């Protein structure tokens, strides 16, 4: 016997929570099903080092960071017209939850307390006040004729909703709940799903033995050039390779085959760097000479690792340090990537993120075929598509009631 419900949202990450808020705000009774014991586990993990909500920058600059079909992310005034969110809307929404914000020197927007948990608690309280029923440990297991099947505590359950929003995530960090188990079920219904690939991931590097002493250290004060993109963020040398925010900024282009070059002294002209190399005492060892000029043992180690054989001439050595080829063995696996590329293709979606093959079923978040770097872009995209899908679902339900 199936249970009839008005609105069903599957997945209680940022996109699903936002969709539930939009539906409940229009008066719809919402059941929010989450496979994990608690909601928004990936959001909480992201907030451990400071929750970067969005970026405080003009929409034209902001939108350049989105790849794939990027549904639901268009410049104003369409944000308000289509129920979408840009940086300003995200900040207004967070402040509406009572969360104080500040803008960092790079334009990143954070809660004053830095953590995700206060925002999530306030958000869940708002949803509870709107009547949203959160059911944890409810794992969707596919379609059962007209019903939706779930594994839940104590057995199985069948739901028959009038409208559904899917916000099941992509394929990264499956231990937090996003395992892409839904892909064959939607493909069987005629939905086009692009294969998933890692995004916001590190790259594997086979290091020489001397690099082991630097594992766990942060690479600071360098610039990473990939095509016309330049990243100035920090990244980390690990036993497996390189990873961290500075790598993630340009990871998509590197994954697609673009060469990456590290400028170890981005604030010095090549001529000045060559002069400093020439001035260093000749009696110093190569390593000590590089450390003295570059001012950082790790940067010197990277030059010796990736710049071999090192040229003796100061001018050529300076050019090598200004354009050091980042040599890697490919991207790290999707299981440890921050996010994923691929997902439901734009051709399978309407303008309100309804699945063309499944009327009354909408999708949002990382299930969709778009990608964005960390630094607020990824989270803003999930919130934006969640709002758009939730409003589309609310309109569909209202029309069905008439």
CA distance 279 to 8: 70
Cα R_g (the chain), whole angstroms: 24
Q: 10 Å Cβ neighbour count for 351? A: 11
Q: How confident is the model at residue 180 (pLDDT cuts 50, 70, 90)?
A: very high
Does the pLDDT value for residue 78 go beyond 50? Answer: no
Backbone angles phi, psi at 375, to 5 degrees: 100, 30
Span 343-349, average pLDDT: 93
- pLDDT tens per residue, range 195-223: 999 999 999 999 999 999 999 999 999 99
DSSP string, 12-49: -SHHHHHHHHHHHHTT--EEEEESSSSS-HHHHHHGGG
If we measure between CA atoms, which residue out of 26, 7, 84 comes closest to residue 382? 84
Domain assignments of the chain as residue spans, ordered by start: 3-198+340-401, 203-325
Span 274-292, average pLDDT: 85
* CATH of region 3-198+340-401, choose from 3.10.440.10, 3.30.230.10, 1.10.274.50, 3.50.50.60: 3.50.50.60
In the prediction, which pLDDT does 402 show? 72
Does the pLDDT value for residue 252 go beyond 60? Answer: yes
If we measure between CA atoms, which residue out of 170, 162, 327, 329 comes closest to residue 261? 327
Q: Taking a C-beta distance cutoff of 8 angstroms, is the pair 386, 364 a contact? A: yes
Q: How confident is the model at residue 83 (pLDDT cuts 50, 70, 90)?
A: very low
In the prediction, which pLDDT does 367 show? 95
The CA-based dihedral angle spanning residues 27, 33, 36, 42, taken in that order and rounded to the nearest 10 degrees: -50
Q: Among the residues of 307-376, which ranges form H helices?
A: 314-322
For the full predicted model, state whether its pTM sits above 0.85: yes
Residue linked to tokens 């104590």: 154
Mean residue pLDDT of the chain comes to: 91
In the prediction, which pLDDT does 72 show? 62
Does the pLDDT value for residue 76 go beyond 50? Answer: no
In the prediction, which pLDDT does 81 show? 44
CA distance 246 to 219: 9
- pLDDT tens per residue, range 310-333: 988 999 999 999 999 999 999 999
Does the pLDDT value for residue 184 go beyond 80? Answer: yes
Does the pLDDT value for residue 74 go beyond 60? Answer: no
| Beta-sheet strands, E only, within 228-346 | 229-231, 235-237, 241-243, 261-263, 324-325, 339-344
In the prediction, which pLDDT does 88 show? 87
Contact partners, residue 336, CB within 8 Å, separation at least 6 = 172, 173, 201, 202
Rounded to 5°, the CA angle 259-330-50 comes to 90
In the prediction, which pLDDT does 71 show? 64
Q: Which residue did the predictor score with more confidence, 231 or 26?
A: 26
């Amino acid at each position: 016997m199936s249970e009839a419900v008005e609105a069903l949202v599957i997945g209680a990450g940022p996109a699903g929570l936002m969709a539930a808020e939009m539906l409940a705000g229009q008066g719809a009774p919402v059941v929010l099903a989450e496979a994990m014991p608690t909601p928004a586990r990936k959001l909480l993990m992201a907030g451990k080092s400071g929750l970067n909500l969005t970026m405080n920058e003009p929409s034209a600059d902001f939108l350049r960071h989105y790849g794939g079909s990027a549904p639901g992310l268009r410049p104003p005034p369409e944000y308000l017209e289509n129920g979408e969110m840009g940086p300003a809307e995200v900040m207004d929404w967070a402040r509406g939850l009572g969360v104080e914000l500040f803008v960092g020197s790079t334009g990143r927007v954070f809660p004053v307390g830095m953590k995700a948990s206060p925002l999530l608690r306030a958000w869940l309280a708002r949803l509870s006040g709107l009547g949203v029923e959160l059911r944890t440990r409810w794992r969707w297991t596919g379609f059962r004729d007209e019903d939706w099947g779930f594994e839940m505590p104590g057995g199985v359950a069948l739901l028959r909703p009038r409208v559904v929003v899917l916000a099941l995530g992509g394929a990264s960090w499956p231990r937090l709940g996003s395992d892409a188990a839904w892909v064959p079920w939607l493909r069987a219904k005629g939905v086009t799903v692009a294969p998933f690939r890692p995004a916001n991931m590190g790259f594997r590097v086979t290091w020489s033995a001397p690099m082991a002493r630097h594992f766990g250290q942060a690479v600071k004060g360098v610039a990473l050039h990939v095509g016309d993109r330049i990243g100035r963020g920090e990244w980390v040398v690990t036993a497996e390779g390189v990873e961290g925010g500075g790598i993630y900024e340009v990871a998509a282009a590197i994954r697609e085959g673009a060469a990456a070059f590290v400028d170890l002294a981005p604030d010095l002209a090549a001529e000045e760097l060559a002069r400093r190399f020439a001035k260093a005492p000749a009696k110093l060892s190569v390593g000590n000479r590089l450390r003295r000029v570059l001012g950082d043992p790790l940067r010197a180690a990277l030059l010796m690792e990736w710049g071999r054989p090192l040229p003796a001439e100061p001018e050529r050595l300076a050019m090598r340090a200004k354009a050091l080829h980042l040599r890697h063995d490919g991207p790290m696996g999707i299981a440890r990537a921050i996010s994923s590329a691929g997902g439901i293709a734009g051709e399978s979606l309407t303008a309100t993120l309804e699945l063309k093959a499944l009327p009354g079923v909408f999708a949002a978040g990382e299930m969709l075929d778009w990608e964005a770097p960390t630094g607020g872009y990824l989270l803003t995209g999930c919130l934006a598509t969640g709002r758009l899908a939730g409003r589309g679902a609310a309109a569909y339900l209202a029309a069905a009631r008439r």
